[in-house]
Amino acid sequence: MTKSSQPIFPYPPKKVEGYPTYLPDQVQPVGSLLDANVYKQNQDPPKLFEPLTIRGVEFPNRAWVAPMCQYSSDEGKATDHHLVHLGSMAMRGWGSIMVEATAVVPEGRITPEDMGIWEDAQIEPLKRVVDYVHGLRGIIGIQLAHAGRKASNPAPWTLRQAIEEKGYDGGDVVGEENGGWPNNVQAPSAISFNPGKYANPVEITTEYIENLKKAYVAAVERCKKIGFDFIEIHGAHGYLLHEFVSPLSNTRKDSYGGSLDNRIRLPLELAQLVREKWNKPLFYRVSATDWLEEDLGPEKGKNGEWAWWGIEQTTYLTQKLADLGLDLIDVSSGGNDLRGNIKVGPSYQLPFAEHIKQNVSNILVGSVGIITEPVQANDILEEGKADIVFLARQVLRDIDFPLRAALELGAAVSPAVQYERAWTRMLVKRDHVKKAAHHHGVDEVQGEEGKKTKPKRDAPPEVHTSVP
């Protein structure tokens, strides 16, 4: 029998070198703009897909994942859930991914199941996640946190199930028998967030503050070993640093309480320490307001004293952070006082981000708050109200948002190579001005994507038109 001649393909598969298992190499970062010489619509791309470089780290687009607590860690360690949860996002084209609020000390967790970075044993599980995201050419950072007086609570679904299934109507403090620390909840002042429900906190001593500074520095060193691309300091949502800046939760009589400069002293000291030890991008999340004007009147009372935490003090703090060399302010709101009358709606927190962008120099601004639609997200950026947008719950509802946004806004971005057959509608080579020629960027169009059954619905717009 004679040997037949076979049509041999001579090229080996491209893989990520050094990764412990086979992982196909991505042509370029998922969610980044494809070559504008080939995809001419990218010569004037939507702002949402304009890359951003901070301290040498290039973020491929401006749709970023906000940190979201998962309450799924094991003694502060990342688990398989985090690999799947965050790794799935890296496959979908987000410009940046941020690991949830991660406690720098054990008592800094919100729940016993929160993420931690207070010991070296927590390095390797997080490094596994970071290595995978980097293997996909993604960008990933972490939010360093301390829960303050809102610590030692149950996970939200655990509390909900107890209420719904057992009619529970007691306190929300997790006892020691279930991994809690009810007698070691630390706060600026001994003021409970919700008396009768939340913990009665211990007032932080100056010795504790000095040890906390060391804990943040140690956490930064672990971040270096893990390989994170950026760090965010959590100063929002009623957790420790937010508690320090508010005159309602901080009634101290020492150098960390009283005047505005005293109340923001600890956040600035921590920011400076982290900045000195970390040469990559550094962000800070603020709650810009506690929404208390309807209950307590103006942020600054007639006597000239600050009545509650609001946008004026936030702007002052942000400029101080910018002067220390922080790169981005992540603008959220609320969380420190149950009386807050929050006006919720699409982009409801955008005015605070826009105010800071207009009144603070030398810092980038991120906006959050019910940003759910591609046009909405792109408008925020095109109109100069913020530099990037953070999405959270929408990520969980629509993990493919960046690729769907590219399709809707008329851009061509790189899907993950494993998923490119699902995005052939987006991979259309078009003249930016003339009518789209439906010539796909991949050689073969297979499956449902190849059908031209509803061309008006499936065809992307010729150019992005989110702003008149």
List active site positions.
239
DSSP structure string for 186-255: EESSS--SSTTTS--PEEPPHHHHHHHHHHHHHHHHHHHHHT-SEEEEEE-TTSHHHHHH-TTT----ST
Single-letter amino acid, residue 448: E
Q: Is 244 in contact with 256 (CB distance < 8 Å)?
A: yes
Name the nearest CA neighbour of 234 among 87, 108, 387.
Answer: 108
Residue 427 contacts by C-beta under 8 Å, 6 or more apart in sequence? 34, 39, 412, 415, 420, 440, 441, 442
Strand, coil or helix: what is 118?
Answer: coil
Burial of 206: CB neighbours in 10 Å, binned 0-12, 13-18, 19+: exposed
DSSP-assigned beta bridge partners for residue 99: 142
Q: How far is Cα 301 from Cα 66, in angstroms, rounded to an integer?
A: 34
| Kind plus residue range of the DSSP H or E element containing 285 | strand 282-287
**Alpha helix (H) residue ranges in 253-292:** 260-263, 265-277
Q: How far is CA 127 from CA 103, 226, 349, 351, 404, in A?
A: 16, 5, 33, 37, 29
Whether the Cβ atoms of residue 206 and residue 198 lie closer than 8 Å to each other: no
3-class secondary structure, 61: coil
- C-alpha–C-alpha distance, residues 283 and 364, integer Å: 9
Structure-token match 């009768």, residue found: 196
